[in-house]
Amino acid sequence: MGDVSVIVPTMRRPDSLERALRSLFAQSGVADRLTSIVVVDNDPAGTAASGVARLAPDSPCPLIYRHAPQPGVATARNAGLAATEAPLIAFLDDDEAASPGWLKALLDAQTLTGADAVFGPITGRVPEGTGWATPHLERFFGRECPTSTGLINHSYGCGNSLLVRATALPGPAPLDARADQSGGEDDVLFAALAARGGRFGWAAEARVEEFAPPHRATMRYALSRAFAYGQGPSQTAAKAGNWPGVARWMLIGAAQAGVWGVAAIALTVVAHPARATMLDRAARGLGKLFWTQGFEPRFYGARELARLDGLRAPA
């Protein structure tokens, strides 16, 4: 009997979702462990249902469809968790495609390290036409770390991860739905896990490709995300009531914004390719400074749905 389920949240990306699912159907070495693949359709209109039904006969295990009509990244992941009782949970985003040995590599790494959460590398892919920013955007949408499998001292995002349910995902809805629109629910989840003494692992062979859609493969989007990533440490400290920690992160952010901002301006004047990296670092510094409610960019949920509908997103 299997002991791992893969959860794939999706919202109106039929071609990308099919690519992700077919990569899961092609997984090797896990036939006796894969309990189910759960697709969580976060579109209020339920547009992924027909595609999942069409692909179900090709799945090597039960392909479960769940509709989570309230748009939001945390809500979608919680709905996926409610659809399976598997003790191990893997997350794959609908814009990712897993290598054939992906899931086995995650499982092997978890067995080797005993980690509560295991992460793998991501190769970023962007459409043609991104010009001078292409190398930065490929790194931005990617994820690299050690070249060997083992324990690491920090976490990454839920995309391309394997979590031990009993320790990393406590309660029926462990991901904070207050982050539905902005994201960052995984930062809060893993910060709480670390505070409980949880351990993080790295699976060097668990590689996926992430295909950034055209509307996200821009410096404007990347800098907005960098700003939001910068907010994470300050927000996490604030939620823990660690106000000295908040002050520390704000001071660090002020220094980063100043130093890297000046460097970004200088490199922009001479059109140096490294300006993208400097802009990213300056944006992360600003995020540590401006971390309070009202400054949070919104990338998911209603904002993304409005973009897909071609409508102006709500304020």
Can you read off the two tokens belonging to residue 122? 């991501």
Phi, psi of 149 (to 5 degrees): -75, 140
Report the alpha-carbon distance of residue 45 to residue 12 in Å, rounded. 9
User: Among 186, 165, 152, which Cα is nearest to 73's?
Assistant: 186
pLDDT digits (tens, 9 = 90+) for 103-154: 999 999 999 999 999 999 999 999 998 999 999 999 999 998 788 999 999 9
**pTM attached to this predicted model:** 0.87
Question: Which segments in the chain show pLDDT lower than 70?
Answer: 1, 300-315
Question: CA 72, 77, 80, 81: dihedral to nearest 10 degrees?
Answer: -140
Can you read off the two tokens belonging to residue 103? 């899931």
User: Is domain 4-211 classified as CATH 3.40.50.20?
Assistant: no
At 2, the amino acid letter reads: G
Domain boundaries, the chain: 4-211, 219-309
The pLDDT score that the predictor gives to residue 305 is 66
The pLDDT score that the predictor gives to residue 184 is 77
Integer CA distances (angstroms), 91 to 103, 256, 285, in order: 10, 32, 29
Report the alpha-carbon distance of residue 121 to residue 207 in Å, rounded. 5
